[in-house]
Chain A
Amino acid sequence: MSSTLNVRNVEDRTMARLAEQAVAEGVTLSEWVRQLLDRAASLLSPSELAARRVELAATAATTDEFEAYYAARLHRGRDARRSTRRAG
């Protein structure tokens, strides 16, 4: 199932840029705009994202909790390098 969307008053420079992008991607302008709309529709809007952050605030990890995890994860190469040297 699909619908048709007509958009009025699109700036000339926007149309030109979209046409350039479509050529670069090797698709028609309609197909390119369809892909852009599909991608946009799969994302949270800025307001939805802000609302989600508020919604998650109570259960979100604290900065300290995450920093401890991140530091350990960032430096996990230390042990791997040691064991590789031992094996060699």
Chain B
Amino acid sequence: MASLLAVADLGALLRWSGLVRGPAPQSTAIVCPDALVAEVIEYLRVRHDDRVGPMLSDLAGVEMAVERFYPSGDMSATLTDVAARAPTDLDVTLCSPVALAIKLGLPLVTTSNELAALAHAHVAEVTILGR
């Protein structure tokens, strides 16, 4: 049975919001670390060639699809621990959903095998979304 609430990584968040094709999380609601907002904006910059109108429109859609963005500062110690265990080249900001799932004891939904591996053994339930 799908979890009611799950933490989404960038890939799962963009699928949940409808901006990227592919199966979306089966949860009834998702939460994210607020650090991912900047990552969404960065993605939208690339996708829309810095055109602010479409960027703002898509960003509003993402924000209306996420139950809550949690303050990353509240999980800094957990994120530091995750960063220290992560492969050296893995970006720490994008690892923040793993830290949030650990901190809140929630399942993680991701499109990244690497983030799933990082979460393994620390997060009770990890779902990798297929293509």
A positions within 8 Å CB-CB of B = 39, 42-44, 46, 49, 52-53, 55-57, 60-63, 66-67, 69-70, 73-78, 81
**Contact partner of B14 among A43, A44, A66, A74, CB < 8 A?**
A66
| CB of B131, distance to nearest CB on chain A (Å) | 5
CB < 8 Å neighbour of A81 from B14, B28, B67, B89: B89
In B74-96, the 8 Å CB interface with A consists of 88-92, 94
Complex CA–CA separation, A62 to B47 (angstroms): 12
Question: Please, which residues of chain B bring their CB within 8 A of the CB of A61?
Answer: 14, 19-21, 47
Chain A nearest CB, measured from B103 CB (Å): 18
Q: Is B10 an interface residue (CB 8 A)?
A: yes
Assembly CA distance A63 to B12 (angstroms): 11
Interface-central residue, A62, A66, A67, by most chain B CB under 10 Å? A66
Q: Does B65 contact A (CB under 8 A)?
A: yes
DSSP class of A's interface residues: helix, strand, loop or mixed? helix
Interface size class of B (residues with CB under 8 A): 20 to 34
CA distance A81 to B89 in the complex (A): 7
Minimum CB–CB distance from B74 to chain A (whole Å) comes to 15
Q: What are 12 A-B residue pairs whose CB atoms fall within 8 Å in the complex?
A: A42-B64, A43-B66, A44-B65, A49-B18, A60-B18, A60-B21, A66-B14, A69-B46, A74-B91, A75-B90, A78-B88, A81-B88
Give the residue name and chain of the B residue nearest to A40 (CB). B67
Question: For residue A49, which residues in chain B have a CB less than 8 angstroms away from its CB?
Answer: 16, 18, 65
Cα distance A42–B11 when bound, in Å? 23
Q: Which residues B17-48 have CB closer than 8 A to chain A?
A: 17-22, 24, 28, 39, 42-43, 46-47
* Further pairs besides A56-B61, A70-B111: 19, Cβ < 8 Å: A44-B64, A44-B65, A49-B18, A52-B17, A52-B18, A53-B18, A57-B18, A60-B19, A61-B20, A63-B22, A67-B11, A70-B112, A74-B91, A74-B94, A74-B112, A75-B91, A76-B91, A77-B89, A77-B90
